[in-house]
Structure 1
Amino acid sequence: MAGALLGMMAVGSVHAMGSFETDKPDPEFSVCGFVREPLAFWTFRRAAGSPDSRRLAGLRGVEPIHFETLDKRRLGGYRLRASGNPRGYLLVAQGNAMLADQIMGELQVFRDRGFDVYVYDYRGYGLSAGSSRLNAIVSDYREIVAHLNRQDYSRRVLYGMSMGGIILLNAVGATSEYSALVVDSSPSRISHLGCPEQFDPANHLPADCSRLQLVIGERDRVVWPAEMEELMIAVKDRGGRVVRRLDYAHPFQDATPGIHRRRLEEVADFLSR
């Protein structure tokens, strides 16, 4: 999960390694510590496990997909196809110890709302090649959003959970590249953990947040509500929506299936409006 991953990056890291360059040609360089960042991603790749297409058995409208990045890394994942003409696409950026095939079944609620749902394994995870690095993964999602926006979709929506919210805000948060974005359980800042300030999610909010919803769970013990407070205030001040629920925990850690289902329905309501 995001909090634990970034905490690992912080311990013993060199702030930006003294070598952060925005124009560096290789995106797979470490920005949060040249030892700790690779170690953290290695740990969570192991926690995510191996891909297993059998998890998708019986799932209607699912198909494998791939995307090749500008630095020639092949990213693998899945698409859930909506029935008939889709109203738009949904790109999901999951938590950092998850694979696409582990969550596709849970995302049927979005397909049933008329969205083609896209989920890729992060660079270096599961079906995707390359070295897992924060800078590179942000670059990947910037490219994926641009690619999807060239397709024939009228509505462009994004859902980032935990680490996924950090990724999507960094990639396109302040742009006009999307119709709606839900950030679920992501911290306001990561610079205090050894990452450069330019990766702080709070620095990537649009001036007008009316297209953005922030989800905070009072039972979250991975990213505590206090860590999201700055984002919450900024989103509210800029016209966005904040959903703060007493019974929500971290994504996919809610106490009951009913709470988990209600959470996804609430996200779907915002993205569908």
Structure 2
Amino acid sequence: MSYGRGARWALLLTAVVGGGTASPAMAAPDSPETSVCGFIREPLAFWLFRRAAGPPDARRVAGIRDIERIQFETLDKRTLGGYRLRARDKPRGYLLVAPGNAMLADQIMGELQVFRDRGFDVYVYDYRGYGLSGGSSRLKAIISDYREIVAHLNRQNYRRRALYGMSMGGVVLLNAVGAKGDFSALVVDSAPSRISHLGCPEGFDPVNHLPADCSRLQLIVGERDRVVRPAEMEELMIAIRNRGGRVLERLDYAHPFQDAPDIHRRRLQEVADFISR
């Protein structure tokens, strides 16, 4: 399955800064649903990528072993919907996946069974305003949602706390919890170093949210990626290496979920290897 067909990061961030069902003017100034990357660009972009993601369809997860619908209520009373894959016996930890910005949870759950089979409970939520989740899609709000979800999962007595962010998901996770470093392993897959040149405040640039010690962080860079090109990840690569993190550069990798099937499986296995260390 392929997502973001024909997109470059400019369009992707036209997506990162996309919008929800409410007009920007309707959000209170202190609301997480306030646009921060342009009061026209942000709502329009998220609208375009929600359309690309399409509607939820429970038939996509029918027949997947040990899967269940889940919900999470945010502090501003929005209900986020998604799925959990349950590990058999006692889980070794949790894995929270933040998907790309044109994906729904039900579209990717079948591909994530490799992590369940490694002993992780796997959590995937639709972004705010997408699919099963309510509210208006805004970058600030989505980051806030993931900060709350991680804090909630970290109170559940899991031994390992693993995070995997694809493309926009990497931007979200680094902003939400990167600098705090309250995780056992974080994989950032094909996220740009900066988004400020596309209209967002510099405070949202992912490179500004790395922990001082990056030894528990892995960045995946695909030389065939035409959505977020390697040059756009260079600052992250340098900073992560300088702070003791791992950069996995692969000549045959494209953007997440745009690889050939055998390469896609190897990519997920490499993520599983890192979070299982």
Q: Answer whether TM exceeds 0.5 for this pair.
A: yes
Counterpart CA distance in 2 for 1:172 and 1:149 is: 12
Q: Residue 134 of structure 1 corresponds to which residue in structure 2?
A: 139
* 1:9–1:36 Cα contact (<8 Å) kept: no
* 1:9–1:40 Cα contact (<8 Å) kept: yes
* 2:16–2:168 Cα contact (<8 Å) kept: no
* CA shift in 2, pair 1:224/1:54, >3 Å: same
* CA shift in 2, pair 1:84/1:143, >3 Å: same
Counterpart CA distance in 2 for 1:84 and 1:8 is: 39
Q: Residue 20 of structure 1 corresponds to which residue in structure 2?
A: none
Q: Residue 13 of structure 1 corresponds to which residue in structure 2?
A: none
Q: Residue 272 of structure 2 corresponds to which residue in structure 1?
A: 268
How big is the shift at 1:176? 2.9
Q: Residue 94 of structure 1 corresponds to which residue in structure 2?
A: 99
* Correspondences of 1:1-273 after superposition (within 5 Å): 1=4, 3=9, 4-7=11-14, 25-254=30-259, 256-273=260-277
SS of the residue 2:121 aligns to = strand
Matched residues, percent identical?
79
Aligned length: 261
* 1:5–1:41 Cα contact (<8 Å) kept: no
SS of the residue 2:49 aligns to = helix
SS of the residue 2:45 aligns to = helix
Q: Which runs of 4+ in 1 moved over 6 A?
A: none
The residue identity in structure 2 corresponding to 1:50 is P
* CA shift in 2, pair 1:24/1:212, >3 Å: farther
How big is the shift at 1:58? 1.0
Q: Which moved more, 1:165-174 or 1:175-184?
A: 175-184
Counterpart CA distance in 2 for 1:52 and 1:8 is: 22
* 1:9–1:194 Cα contact (<8 Å) kept: no
Counterpart CA distance in 1 for 2:15 and 2:148 is: 27
User: TM-score with structure 2 length normalisation?
Assistant: 0.92
How big is the shift at 1:25? 2.8
SS of the residue 1:234 aligns to = helix
* 2:174–2:209 Cα contact (<8 Å) kept: yes
Counterpart CA distance in 1 for 2:199 and 2:61 is: 38
The residue identity in structure 2 corresponding to 1:47 is A
* 1:82–1:116 Cα contact (<8 Å) kept: yes
How big is the shift at 1:6? 1.2
SS of the residue 1:109 aligns to = helix
How big is the shift at 1:166? 0.1
How big is the shift at 1:24? 5.1
How big is the shift at 1:196? 0.2
Counterpart CA distance in 2 for 1:41 and 1:7 is: 7
Counterpart CA distance in 2 for 1:124 and 1:232 is: 32
How big is the shift at 1:152? 2.0
Q: Which moved more, 1:170-179 or 1:40-49?
A: 170-179
Cα deviation 1:10-45 (Å, max 9, x = unaligned): 9xxxxxx9xxxxx95310000000001000000000
Unaligned 5+ segments in structure 2 are 18-23
Counterpart CA distance in 2 for 1:32 and 1:76 is: 25
Cα deviation 1:40-99 (Å, max 9, x = unaligned): 000000000000000011100000000000000000000000010000000000000000
SS of the residue 2:173 aligns to = helix
* CA shift in 2, pair 1:8/1:71, >3 Å: closer
